[in-house]
Every structure is written in C-alpha cells, then in structure tokens.
A = this chain, B = another copy of it.
Amino acid sequence: MRVFFYRTHRRQVLMSKQVLIIGGGFAGLNAAKRLAGDPRVRVTLVDQRNHHLFQPLLYQVATAGLNPADIAVPIRAQFSRDENVAVHLGRVEQVNLRDKWISGEDGVHIPYDYLVIACGAQHSYFGKPEWEEFAPGLKTLEQATEIRRRILSAFEKAENEIDPAVQRSLLTFVVVGGGPTGVELAGAIADISRKVLVRDFRRINPASARVVLVEAGQRVLVSFDEKLSARAARDLERLGVELRSGVRVTEIDSNGVNIGKERIEAKSVFWAAGVQAASIARKLGTELDPAGRVKVVSDLSIPGHPDAFVVGDLAHVAWTTDRIVPGLAPAAIQMGRLAAENILASIDGKSRESFRYFDKGLMATIGKNKAIVQAGQLKFGGYIAWLAWLFIHILYLIGFRSRVAVLFGWIWSYVFSKQGARLITNRDWKS
C-alpha cells in the first residue's frame, strides 16, 4: 500500500484551515454547504460513494416508482462553483484524533485542522448477519435496485411456475420492521401488485399477492401518536397488507421466515428493522451508546477532542430527559450546520453554541394517497396528509432537476397507475 500525505486542492491557501468531512449524507453535505465559499476554510468531503442520496424516497426506487437518478445527485456537482471544497471518493480506514489525520483504504493520508464525522447508520440484523442475503435492507441505491429486481422477478417467476405451492411462495412478500421504511415499502408493494401489475400477466393474478408486515413491538409506527399509528394500520390493511405485530422473526432462509411459531413461505423478504451506527465509531476510542452511536458533548464535538465533531445518525445527542435526538433528515441537517458554525466560531476565537434540536415533526406515507403527519399538536392523516407529505418531499429534494423528475414521475403514476422504472437489470454485464 502506498502511504502518502497529499494535497486535496490544486492551490492550498496558506492561512485557511483544512476541514475534513467524512460522509456525504444529509449531515455531512450540509456541513460542507455551510462552509462552501468561506475563505477561512478549505473543505475536503470524503465519501465512499459519488452521490448524495435522498433516503426518504429510496423505497420508491425499490418499488419501481422512481429512477435512482431522481433521488441521487453527484456530490461533486453540488460544489462545482466552490473552489474551496474538494470531494474525495474513497473509504476511510483510520481516524487518528491525536495527530489529526485520516487514512483511506487506497493509502491516502489526509491531515486536518477540524474533522466532521457523519457516516450515518446501517442495518443491524441483531447478530444474524447471514440473514442479509435472504432479506436485503434499504439504505443504498444498490440495495434498492436489488429489492426492485427481487420484487419484479418474483412476479415473472410466478407467471412461469406450474407448482401452485411454489407459485404461492413467489407471490408472498414479507417486510420485517414496522417503522416508516417498512410501512412505506409494504404499502408500495401492495399498491404495485394491485394497481400497476394487475393487467400485465396472463397466468397469475398479481392482485392476489400476499404482503405481510412483521413488527416485533405492539404497533407499527411506534414513534407516532397511538391514534395515528392505528389509522395507519387500518389504511395498510385496506391496501391488503397483513399486519403481524408483537411477534419476532426467529429465522430467515431462502424459502421464507419463521415468526414466533408460525412459518411463512416467502421467496421475497425485506429488512427494515433495527439500525446500527457505522462501524467507524468503534475505532475512535470514545464512549458509545448501545446502538454504537458516539456520545458527543453539547457542541457536537467528541469529549476530549474539541476539533472533531460527530453529527447525524452517528451522534448520540440528548433531546429531552428520556429521549435522544432521532435519526431523521432534519436533525442531521441541523447538526451538520451547527458543527460547521462551531468550526468557524473556533477559528474566529468565539465561543461555540450548543445543539438545540428543532423538531419538525414526523411523516409516513401509506400507499398512493394516504399518509399520517404529526408535528407538535398537529396530528392528521388521510389524503391531506399525503399532499403535505408530497409537498415536503418535493421541497427538500436537492436540485431543480430532481424536483421536476420526481413530480413528473408521481403525476404520471398517479394518473395512469403505471410505474416507469419497472426494469429488471442483472448484476452481471457480460454477454
């Protein structure tokens, strides 16, 4: 391995401080945006992927409603005009908080004056990593494309199958985890089978597909008010989703799942339960919470390392006495911005601010025209909530192009009950 310190910018301005940001999600991207164009700093944003992903709509890529490019933008393109921001594609291997540098898998060493770690979270299979193969999660574009491939292929295989039992298990879809992602995914699978695919097959009836949503807790969408959660459950069942709450998945294999004492034969199982902080946290030598998040001080820096910040889903930040700040996009954006501002404050010799979470509320959508919204005292569901959900998601998408593309895609599929991105692509490209 070649080891070298290298310049990330063609011109290094001598007086400016080097800020290194790891991760181009909501937190990291917004930290970099806050610092872009500021002559006091030069910024290097490191990510293992070349794109920022609008994760709240990832389930729509998985269910063929949107294209990958509709919800992902190249990180570089966000900083074309900001000469002081460089983007480095690569995977970080080591973080040396004492000597203030990071190293990448490719042998590159990058020194920093200030560090912002924003690596987010990934799925946790509760100590059963072997389940991943049978039940992909939904955190990356690759996973979304894989889920889409499995859903569409299951209908295709069912159409060709003569054994009724196998056909049945091909037309059974199990989603594990009743949080917003699980609910949205299950709702969208029910939707596509009942409305979009229904006329396309000649031997099977796609509308007979069975969609099961499994939640270990007593109710779905537990972070919402009990009444809203019950409303969502009703809407899901109306769409044709079978709810199983209060039961735990005990086994997953290539043919189905065991929940409690019941066996469900299902060729398609998807995982939307349990997240775990990125593994980089364990290399920092600082205190973590049980989910692997870094316990930061109130200015979002690591205890004992005032020049290193942790933000977004990776950070454990107290909110109320018994709750921490949730792993939501608005929280990540707010943390990213505050870390950037605290860096600038330190450069100017000013005092830092403590993080105060501004709660923008919660939303989840159920199928094509229902949602629930909870913001402070405001709690409502149904069609109006869905319109609010739609408006907010279009608004927060990055880039005018994405907004137009997503809006067009939605209007199209709403009016014609067609989904545009129903492509099965293989992983192998060779002929």
Instruction: Say yes or no: A160 contacts B89, CB within 8 Å.
Output: yes
Contact, CB under 8 Å: B422 / A74: yes
Q: List CB contacts (< 8 Å) of A71-91 with chain B.
A: 72, 74, 76-77, 79-81, 83, 86-90
Are B86 and A143 in contact (CB-based, < 8 A)? no
A50:B6 contact, CB within 8 angstroms: no
Q: Does A320 contact B (CB under 8 A)?
A: no
Is A334 positioned at the interface, with any CB of B under 8 Å from its CB?
no
A132 touches B50 (CB 8 A): no
Chain B residues lying within 8 Å of A80, measured Cβ to Cβ, are 199-200
Q: Does A141 contact B (CB under 8 A)?
A: yes
Instruction: Enumerate chain B residues within 8 angstroms of A143, measured Cβ to Cβ.
Output: 429, 431
Interface residues of A in 125-142 (CB under 8 A from B): 132-133, 136-137, 139-142
Interface residues of A in 152-170 (CB under 8 A from B): 152, 156-157, 159-160, 162
Q: What chain B residues lie within 8 Å of A428 (beta carbons)?
A: 142, 427
Report the minimum CB–CB distance from A7 to chain B (whole Å).
7
Pairwise interchain contact B6-A142, C-beta atoms closer than 8 A: no
A86-B203, A143-B429, A203-B86 given as contacts; is B7 within 8 A of A423 (CB)? no
A10: CB under 8 A from chain B? yes
Q: Does A430 sit within 8 A of B, measured CB to CB? A: yes
Checking B49, B141, B200, B401 against A76 with a beta-carbon cut-off of 8 angstroms, the contacting residue is B200
A84 (CB) vs chain B CBs: closest residue: B202
Contact with B along A330-362 (1 / 0, CB 8 A): 000000000000000000000000000000000
CA distance A122 to B106 in the complex (A): 36
Scan residues 90-144 of chain A and give those whose CB is less than 8 A from a CB of chain B: 90, 106, 108, 122-123, 132-133, 136-137, 139-143
Is residue A404 within 8 Å, beta carbon to beta carbon, of the partner chain? yes
* CB of A18 closer than 8 Å to a CB of B: no
Q: Mark A166-188, 1 if CB is under 8 A from B, else 0.
A: 00000000000000000000000
A217 CB–B CB distance under 8 Å: no
The 8 Å CB contact of A423, one of B6, B74, B90, B418, is B74
Chain B residues contacting A89 (CB-CB under 8 Å) are 156-157, 159-160, 424
Shortest distance from the beta carbon of A71 to any chain B beta carbon, whole Å:
10
A401-B412 CB under 8 A given contacts A143-B429, A203-B86, A423-B68:
yes
Check if B9 sits within 8 Å of A423, measured CB to CB: no
**Known contacts A412-B401, A418-B401; is A425 also within 8 Å of B145 by CB?**
yes
